[in-house]
Structure 1
Amino acid sequence: MTENIVTTTSTVTMDDGACLHVKVLGDDPKATKPLLIALHGAPGLSTLVDPESSFAFLSGTFRVLVFDARGSGASDLTGPYTHERWINDIENLREWAGAEKFLLAGGSYGGFIALDYALLHGDRLLGIILRDTWANGAVGMMTALANIVTSDRLRVDVARQIRVWSGILYDDKDFEEGVMEILPIYDPPEGVSKKAPMSNDTGPKTFEGFVPTVSKYHSATQNAAFGVNMPRFDVRHRLKEIKAPTLVVVGRHDYIAPVHFSQEIADGIPNARLEIFEHSGHAPPADEPEKFQDTVWSFLKAEVL
């Protein structure tokens, strides 16, 4: 929760003229704290709400910068929606924040961007936090689709889910219907979630920063992400090039980006740390917030601060 955290909201113009909706959490007018940039997932659907709720607890030590990626939320719907362009936007924001180096966090699709950023600009990174992500786009997409259409927790339109995960959605309404029918799969099974340690946070959980009553659906962004970017995304054999300290977290019951994908990433990055959250689905910061915060603090104190 961020009610007592000083938050600055800005509209930041990128080098191509597109404007992004940006928040910086924590009062630091002289920019003396190290910078954390946290990326949301689900292009065209998710917003800065997810990384804000996940990393606000660090705002006393870091300047926590979160933003709606172009093509998502309140930011401009100005393409191209490519990893190269999204990475350049991160660079623009780093420069705007006045940081030479920073900590980068990415969840789900944000993890793909974080991995590509680390391979291109690794010298800029103090560390990396990856949450429920994968290193190979084609295998990841097909695994998620297979788990969705075979799940006994869901009743889905199979043809529509194929459109969602292959990036050939008809329109924004098609996207909305495709998302709404799979929401339960992002949570851990009911019996597992009831075993999780109780949280003091009684606020509503969100899927990837997605709140059904207020979210905007941008199917063009989703189509570019999964129809164009994902088939080209495969960093498995380059993970060894990433030298920044890396924390990889994943929910044991994540059916979108299962544990073995995070294990592959942690095995590939030298000295990476893997933490599996036994009572979580696709969102450990929401499912097990106390453990998530303790895990992140432990990593930061050992490797970054």
Structure 2
Amino acid sequence: MTENAVSPEFAAATTTAQRVVINGNELAVEVLGPEGAPVIITHHGAPGLGSRAEPRASFGRLADEYRVVVFDARGSGESEGSGTFSHEQWAADIDGLREWMGVETIIMAGGSYGGFMSMEYAIRYPERVTAMVLRDTSPDNGNAHLARENALASDRVKVDMEKFDRIDVGQVRDNDDLRDCWREILPLYDFSYDPSSVERKVQATPYRYEAHNYAFSVNLPAYDLKPQLPSVAVPTLITVGRHDWITPVSCSQTIADLIPNSELVVFEKSGHSPQIEEVELWTSTVREFLTRTRLPREESPVER
């Protein structure tokens, strides 16, 4: 499969997405919510595995008050995969979507790898961001060794560490191999483990191994935003599941310590996905935070 190809099982998918050319690459984009409302652009996690489906489900709950933009990143889901899959390019694509929406500023949001890209965007385009919402993410690649330790220590499943290492360092051979490796680590993600759900998730995932390999073999080894995070001046909400194995609470705490105007909320009954596992509490937490950011500054102190 070439870099430009879409995984065959998703090429003909029926979708409500618009096809929008951003920086010479066609993206699958959906826009939810009323015209004229503040715009939230969300970035999904797991390049080559993630898609707009998760942020559509989680941030789509806010589409009564906000204009929510969800999209498949370059090389993921149903989007074209031309060019490079660098953080610089993905951040430029976010800004291209902002321009396409016709707005000067946005609320930036993302979970997991989408959190990486949210912080990248806020650092690279600081004048374009009014607030940021992060979920289960990390400021650097330091979470990688923590995740490996947690996988080895898991009492839930015995992980095939050869497959773990291949997906972790971006050396999967093709989409089928990415699927097999993904199946291996999926049981680690949830707070309440349901073995029957693993295969459903495996079958629902769009596999794009080129973007995955580039992200994990090229982008992440040098990924470290800690020196730049103190420059992030916008209100930032950081959410994380207490039992997150891949981006543990300590990673979110580091972000909170570095971004001056930030607050950290830990969800006690969640793994990597409090937006699913504690859906009502997570959604109300995000909504309340965003409401405060829209009030006059003297009415909306952010407590640390």
Q: For 1:103 and 1:216, how far apart are their aligned partners in 2? A: 26
Equivalent of 1:218 in 208, 232, 239: 208
Q: What is the SS of the residue equivalent to 1:237?
A: coil
TM score, norm. by length of structure 2: 0.88
CA contact (8 A) 2:34 2:66 kept: no
C-alpha distance 240-53 of structure 1, shift in aligned 2 (>3 A):
same
CA contact (8 A) 1:126 1:245 kept: yes
Moved more, 80-89 or 164-173: 164-173
Deviations 1:48-97 (A, max 9, x none): 01000111121121110000001111001223111011001001100000
What's 1:43 paired with?
47
Deviation at 1:226, TM superposition (A): 0.8
Deviations 1:98-119 (A, max 9, x none): 1100100010000111111111
Moved more, 92-101 or 157-166: 157-166
C-alpha distance 205-294 of structure 1, shift in aligned 2 (>3 A):
farther
Q: For 2:252 and 2:290, how far apart are their aligned partners in 1? A: 19
Deviations 1:214-269 (A, max 9, x none): 42211111111110100111011221100011000000010011001001101110
Q: For 1:206 and 1:43, how far apart are their aligned partners in 2? A: 19
TM score, norm. by length of structure 1: 0.87
Query: Is 1:243–2:246 an aligned residue pair?
Result: no
Deviation at 1:206, TM superposition (A): 9.3
Amino acid at match of 1:232: A
CA contact (8 A) 1:189 1:253 kept: no
Number of residue pairs matched?
A: 280
Amino acid at match of 1:109: Y
Write the mapping of 1:135-214 to structure 2, written as runs, cut at 5 A.
Answer: 135-137=139-141, 139-189=142-192, 211-214=201-204
Deviations 1:188-214 (A, max 9, x none): 145xx9xxxxxxxxxx9899xx94224
CA contact (8 A) 2:166 2:172 kept: yes
- Give aligned-pair identity as a percent: 42
Q: What is the SS of the residue equivalent to 2:120?
A: helix
Deviations 1:113-156 (A, max 9, x none): 1111111111111100000000111x122221221133121222
Q: CA RMSD in A?
A: 2.0
Write the mapping of 1:27-176 to structure 2, written as runs, cut at 5 A.
Answer: 27-28=34-35, 32-137=36-141, 139-176=142-179
CA contact (8 A) 2:163 2:184 kept: no
Q: For 2:208 and 2:273, how far apart are their aligned partners in 1? A: 22
What's 1:21 paired with?
28
